[in-house]
Amino acid sequence: MHPIVRLVNRNLTISLSPGFLIWQVIFPLIYIFVAGFAYTSLIDRVPFGGRDLDYPAFLATGMIGFNIMNSTLVTGIIIWNDRRHGMFEQIMSGPFTRFHYILSSVITQAIVGLVSAALIAGMGYLVYFDQIEFNLSTVPLLVFAAVIGSVLFGSIASIISTRLRTSEGFNVIINTVFLFFAFVSTAFYPAGGAPEPLSTAFYLNPLTYLVDVIRAGIFGDVTEFVLVEMAVLVVLGLGLFVTATRLLTRLDF
């Protein structure tokens, strides 16, 4: 078996625990089917592009992006645990190189992101099925969002895991950063109704761009601005991936 395949299998085995899978499924379901319908008394319709969406449909599509981001925490956790418990030295004593280790992390991110996006998209279909407008760009846009989102946020998690040395600092920083990404974005509410400077902060957050691309694919509203958002995601994703790779190659485990 190829070394990269072996490492990917190892990453998936240790990360896809029952607790993680329950968290990845139950938490979004609570938001979609509890918060989504409960908040309709406060939020009736949400503008997106040239149409108005029911709030549950708006939230369900936002949760796809949120879950892609949230699933990439496994990358940072794996790297952190490998550093903390001396696993990296054991891996390097086998037929593996740092290149194998880094590439296996990227592939793990992409697989977990794709599976996570597919799960939430399938469950959310019950909410937004009567408003979707599938076309030839829908599936490619969703795959693009899952892969680039996984690489982008997985790289952020990797960078955090390489820069911190205490478990307390790692947990505080990574949870704070990802909570900021989650709630200062258009995953849960539109930027148009938020006061300044909060609405501006939404568009300093890559999760906003990721969610917009997902909604554009599902609701068939691909505009020039969405294409710009896709370009921003690619540039940010590549930049963060290169940064994370350099830190991992230079890191003294």
Rounded to 5 degrees, φ, ψ at 47 are -75, 135
Alpha-carbon distance of 106 to 110, in angstroms, equals 6
As a whole number of angstroms, the distance between CA 48 and CA 23 comes to 29
Residue 51 three-state SS:
strand
What are the beta bridge partners of residue 51?
48
Cis peptide upstream of residue 197 (ω within 30 degrees of 0) = yes
Q: What residue segments make up the domains of the chain, in order of their start?
A: 3-250
pLDDT tens digits, the chain, 253 residues: what are they?
688 888 888 888 877 777 666 777 777 888 888 877 888 777 778 887 777 888 888 888 888 888 888 888 777 778 877 777 777 778 777 777 878 888 888 888 788 878 877 877 777 777 776 777 777 777 888 889 988 998 899 889 888 888 877 777 878 888 888 888 988 888 888 877 777 788 888 889 999 999 999 998 888 888 898 899 999 999 999 999 899 888 887 766 5
Q: Which two tokens stand for residue 193?
A: 């109704």
